[in-house]
């Protein structure tokens, strides 16, 4: 499994948008992105996301870590 870099929420959101997710709504410091019937909550702040949170977002999106990292580089 590929090692995940430390990412800010803005970087994760860019990857999700490249994967076809779109912004649905925001409540407080959390943004919700949807694609079909999949909804992903992304904490929105200026700090790096914790590794567990990032892995959970990737798992919810249906992407592999490798595919996520490829979209990050594109």
pTM over 0.75: yes
Confidence of residue 1 (pLDDT cuts 50, 70, 90): low
What's the pLDDT tens digit per position in 26-43? Answer: 999 999 999 999 999 999
Question: For residue 3, what pLDDT is reported?
Answer: 86
- List of residues 6+ apart from 12 with CB closer than 8 A: 42, 49, 54, 57
Which region holds residue 36: left if phi is over 0, alpha if psi is between -120 and 50, else beta? left
Topology of the domain comprising 9-73: Metal Transport, Frataxin; Chain A (3.30.920)
């Amino acid at each position: 499994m590929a090692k995940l870099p430390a990412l800010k929420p803005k970087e994760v959101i860019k990857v999700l948008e490249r994967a076809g997710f779109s912004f649905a709504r925001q409540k407080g410091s959390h943004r919700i992105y949807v694609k079909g019937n999949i909804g992903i909550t992304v904490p929105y702040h200026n700090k790096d996301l914790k590794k567990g949170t990032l892995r959970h977002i990737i798992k919810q999106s249906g992407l592999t870590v490798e595919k996520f990292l490829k979209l990050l580089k594109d």
